[in-house]
Amino acid sequence: MLSIRNFSGQLSVIKTTDEDLNVSYTFTDEMGHVVLTRQMKGSETHDTYYVYDDKSNLCFVLQPMYQSSANLDLYAFQYKYDGRNRCIWKKLPGAGYMEMVYDNADRLVFSQDGNQRALTSGNWTYYKYDGLNRLTEQGTCTNKVTTSGTNVLVQHFYDSYAFRSQAGFNNSNFPDDASGNGKGALTASVATVLGSSNKIYTAYYYDIKGRVAKTVQSNLLGGYDVTATIYTFTDKPATVTHTHTASGKPTRTEMYTYSYNHADRLLKVEHTLGGTKITLADYAYDNLGRLQSKSLHGSATNKLTYAYNVRGWLTGISGSKFTQNLYYNNGNGTAKYNGSISSMTWKAGNESTVRGYKFTYDGLDRMLNATYGETADISTNANRFSENVTGYDKNGNIKTLQRYGQTAASGYGLIDNLTFTLGGNQLTRVDDAVATSA
């Protein structure tokens, strides 16, 4: 029986006004629990309520749409607990409920979601553990009492390499390791490929510092994938070598080499295949540790440079193949001070045309309009590819959307006038009022 906690009626409230004067409130009870968050869109409220039981367990989260349509199934997060405050039942908006069963050590041992419940044979997920509470096996069974009708999906092994005597591991591709470095760590896993009888076998080998130095994994091509990692003194990967084998195919080996600066920031990535090494990327940073430039394939002409404002927000990317500028409180859009982008321009490839969008938002910082234009001031050929969101519901789901685009060889206009029908938060139907489109 659910017992909802009563309180004295005293609430504390924090009012937050962001840089664009958007207002929100957080209401807290005397126990420090948030009971209501309220976002304002002008005078319109968007409220999310939080309901607790008398043990302070969260039982309900009521979304803003619940306030106008009191449907728990569609607009509420629901939770139930046992006498030990363990969540034994939960339901997300629009989804089937999920049940959880625990053992005396508070470990999850059975669970079932809505899809499993719909199966005529009955289907639960079971979990098994070792004496150190580490998951050793996971699979499906037919009830929540015993693991009858077991279908093992995943097995885990720890501490040693004794698993090598088992089928799938008992070959020379999975060597023994007597170093003891794997003590306390995951040393192997077996995963069943869903819909088949195939299994993927994986073994993990560690260095003296407990870092994964090598993994060996069987593949579905009758071969193995071996990944070996060498680390720097600061535990960054210095080289990663991957060797791939497949039945009847030649062995392939590739290696990635990583270089770092004094602050352990990545400077260079190199790739070696078939004995040939190439540079994939070079990186440079400013004095604040922000990425300043990235050069691709060792080419000075294929370089991207990054710019930021005083708040560390990205304001520009410039390169020979792509240039983009982002504007916040400046540029040609309506100034935004809270971090939302007010406008952007870009130029791609060898084209000379600068394209851009101006963005507008509502009081909840949801995008309303993306107004297209060309040239640096985003004014030429206006609205050719604009998009307008003309309605949201209180949960933030889009209700109506208009898109503009090319309608003829030299004509532009409305190509989509979409209305979205929702069942709770789930999309059930889309209608387009425009008969023809691009």
Per-residue pLDDT band for 135 (boundaries 50, 70, 90) equals: very high
* Phi-psi region at 237: left, alpha or beta (left = phi > 0; alpha = psi -120 to 50): beta
Whether residue 224 has pLDDT greater than 80: yes
Per-residue pLDDT band for 93 (boundaries 50, 70, 90) equals: very high
Whether residue 366 has pLDDT greater than 50: yes
Q: Is residue 355 in some structural domain?
A: yes
Q: Is residue 129 in some structural domain?
A: no
Q: Which of 382, 397, 413 is the last residue of a domain?
A: 382
The mean pLDDT of 143-162, rounded to a whole number, is: 91
* Distance, CA of 116 to CA of 247 (rounded, Å): 37
Q: Based on the domain organization, do 298 and 371 belong to the same domain?
A: yes
Residues 266-283 pLDDT 10s: 999 999 999 999 999 999
- For the chain, give the mean pLDDT: 95
pLDDT of residue 438: 53
Q: Report yes or no: 64 and 77 within 8 Å, Cβ to Cβ.
A: no
Distances (CA, A) of 70 to 27, 49, 74, 75, 297: 21, 12, 9, 8, 58
Whether residue 6 has pLDDT greater than 70: no
Maximum alpha-carbon separation in the chain: 75
Q: Which of 55, 88, 121 is the last residue of a domain?
A: 88
pLDDT of residue 7: 57
Whether residue 40 has pLDDT greater than 80: yes
Locate 155 and state its tokens. Answer: 């097995």
Locate 270 and state its tokens. Answer: 């190199």
Q: Based on the domain organization, do 8 and 84 belong to the same domain?
A: yes
Q: Is residue 120 in some structural domain?
A: no
Q: Is residue 266 in some structural domain?
A: yes
Per the structure, the complete domain to which residue 397 belongs is given by 384-438
Per-residue pLDDT band for 8 (boundaries 50, 70, 90) equals: low
The mean pLDDT of 325-346, rounded to a whole number, is: 97
Q: Based on the domain organization, do 236 and 273 belong to the same domain?
A: yes
Global pTM value: 0.90
Whether residue 147 has pLDDT greater than 90: no
Q: Based on the domain organization, do 291 and 274 belong to the same domain?
A: no
Alpha helices in 273-347 (DSSP H): none
Q: Based on the domain organization, do 388 and 378 belong to the same domain?
A: no
pLDDT of residue 299: 87
Residues 377-393 pLDDT 10s: 999 999 999 999 999 99
> Chain-centre distance of CA 143, in angstroms?
32
pLDDT of residue 1: 45
Sign of the CA dihedral running 378, 383, 384, 390: positive
Q: Based on the domain organization, do 331 and 360 belong to the same domain?
A: yes
pLDDT of residue 350: 86
Q: Report yes or no: 377 and 59 within 8 Å, Cβ to Cβ.
A: no
Q: Based on the domain organization, do 290 and 378 belong to the same domain?
A: yes
Q: Based on the domain organization, do 363 and 395 belong to the same domain?
A: no
Q: Based on the domain organization, do 294 and 277 belong to the same domain?
A: no
Q: Is residue 195 in some structural domain?
A: no
Locate 94 and state its tokens. Answer: 């629009």
Q: Which of 45, 66, 88 is the last residue of a domain?
A: 88
Q: Based on the domain organization, do 419 and 370 belong to the same domain?
A: no
Locate 305 and state its tokens. Answer: 């440079």
Q: Based on the domain organization, do 371 and 435 belong to the same domain?
A: no
Residues 160-179 pLDDT 10s: 999 999 999 999 999 999 99
Q: Is residue 114 in some structural domain?
A: no
Q: Cβ contacts of residue 316 below 8 Å, gap of 6+?
A: 305, 306, 307, 323, 324, 325, 326
Per-residue pLDDT band for 159 (boundaries 50, 70, 90) equals: very high
Residues 227-263 pLDDT 10s: 999 999 999 999 999 999 999 999 999 999 999 999 9
Q: Based on the domain organization, do 60 and 30 belong to the same domain?
A: yes
Q: Is residue 324 in some structural domain?
A: yes
Percentage of residues in the chain having pLDDT higher than 90: 92
- As for how many domains the chain has, the answer is 4
Q: Is residue 11 in some structural domain?
A: yes
